[in-house]
Structure 1
């Protein structure tokens, strides 16, 4: 069954099946949905948690082994599988077998980026979806953001004015992680329930010296030295690395679409508009594309994937080291190691 994130709480009260799918490209909403499922599984005594990343060459036999083996302490398991690409034939077969007959002592949580409609309509995925709870997450667009921010602020007891909501939306430029961080900071700075635009501006003024938007601008300007300085400052100020990753990953997706559009002879301004890039940034993107080649994008995407694993504790390298390498690649430094 396919549901929206706001339907998850009620759906978990209806004895859901032993397989969950959470898909989408919005990190905050993806994380929150996964956390709610983890909390539910823990309440059902699935106390042992195992996490795997599944690239193209993933050994799907590992999944079968863990479903057939007993826990050392007799605990039920929650097995998380982070899909980095579509499963191969062995993977499809393994997932369908789980969906058709889930083990009593294990739950499966599949975590994926956006699943395209071409995949949603395949026979193998429909077979899985008919036996699972699929939380499909869509990005919050520009028109929906004010309502989302208002609801988030009301959830923690604030009553924001329309001007306050607009100021916060303009500041975060669609980054939900950054918006949530600003709301949490506001809770520390403001004890009043009523929040006006001055409260928002004070919170922004007390922010870090640099933001992820400064980092992206420096990279698009191909100013590697300034990008390094900004990233080092963010790290020193204990900035949340997942927000940096969100920004770099978003730029990777936007640039990939821009390069594909240019190669197909399409107007890149249409893509910039579709991706909700502010018009005052369009010249920066056009200038960047005049100098950069799309050949580096696969390596940039790879470093973002590694940084995501590192943030989740599934990669031995430092998240900040990987974010630095990704930033340098975006800024045009081609000598970064793979």
Structure 2
């Protein structure tokens, strides 16, 4: 049987036989292992851990599964590593799967390639046990997983805050969860967490933030905007997050150009309407027309599509948003 992370999390109390989880998401691995350990503790199930160093370690694992201590009626064994059993070990695995006697073998492997998953070891577990892929490729899956974490902390995020969080951490769910912990500690009294709270809680010792970059561009202060951009790049800020802030402001201005009377409805704060109007006046329609193409090129460069340099394109976006001629690099 194959399960994804959420399905496995909902079946913790039903775990039996062999569970093998593999993937490259530490948060998902930690959560499942923690949930399993909690269940075993509540059920007074003895737990042992083995770290695979060589193929012979499998002999000790199956020996332990066949010899309970005097004080235990059930045993749960965690196996961490990336070494598959040999032919004799595979034979013992099949025998255990046929008669686990309420014992549980949980195997934690790193992400496996598709060819590896076709081996007899993985095929045996898929056919007679449970194979769990610890992956979350889509933004929708990532947000769904992180929303579970946010609910545990008692916080809610706006839709824009979710977008910001996912862009900021570039598919690193563990890092994103840590950011949720920080913002929950700082703003637990708020009904909803927005981008501003996320940004504030994560700034720490930073001299400039991506929001400072957006504001400098809107004010038309190109020198300050370039200074902030360089600081962010040198500090290792994710290109995707810098892009997210710039494209958000540019799309707002494009919408305001089309709907000049609907600033509030577009989500522009009342005290910032004048700032956006001034920024729009610095840009003529011929400049605005080029923005969509420039945004698409930058997005592709950040994703590794094409041969353009994302850092150069971010600088061009800063120039464009500041209402200045775009630098040709």
TM-score by length of 1: 0.56
Structure 2 segments unaligned to the other structure (5+ residues)? 208-231, 238-299, 314-329
Cα contact 2:182–2:202 (8 A) shared by 1: no
Structure 1 segments unaligned to the other structure (5+ residues)? 219-269, 284-338
Cα contact 2:75–2:104 (8 A) shared by 1: yes
Within 5 A, what are the aligned runs for 1:175-324?
175-190=172-187, 191-206=189-204, 273=303, 280=310
Within 5 A, what are the aligned runs for 1:64-83?
64-74=62-72, 76-83=74-81
**Residues 128/72 of structure 1: CA separation in 2 closer, same or farther (3 Å cut):** same
| RMSD of Structure 2 on Structure 1 (CA) | 3.6
Between the aligned partners of 2:65 and 2:202, the Cα distance in structure 1 is 49
Provide the residue aligned with 1:26 in structure 2.
25
Between the aligned partners of 1:16 and 1:139, the Cα distance in structure 2 is 22
Q: Which has the larger radius of gyration?
A: 2
Provide the residue aligned with 1:121 in structure 2.
118
Task: Summarize deviations over 1:77-128 as a string: whole Å, max 9, x none.
Answer: 2111113233332332232222122144x32111111233323333443222
Provide the residue aligned with 1:239 in structure 2.
none
Cα contact 2:23–2:134 (8 A) shared by 1: yes
**Residues 76/149 of structure 1: CA separation in 2 closer, same or farther (3 Å cut):** closer
SS of the counterpart of 1:21?
A: strand
Provide the residue aligned with 1:43 in structure 2.
42
Shift of 1:31: 1.3
TM-score by length of 2: 0.57
Cα contact 1:96–1:124 (8 A) shared by 2: no
Aligned length: 224
Of 94-103 and 178-187, deviating more is: 94-103
Cα contact 1:149–1:165 (8 A) shared by 2: no
**Residues 176/208 of structure 1: CA separation in 2 closer, same or farther (3 Å cut):** farther
SS of the counterpart of 1:60?
A: helix
Provide the residue aligned with 2:83 in structure 1.
85
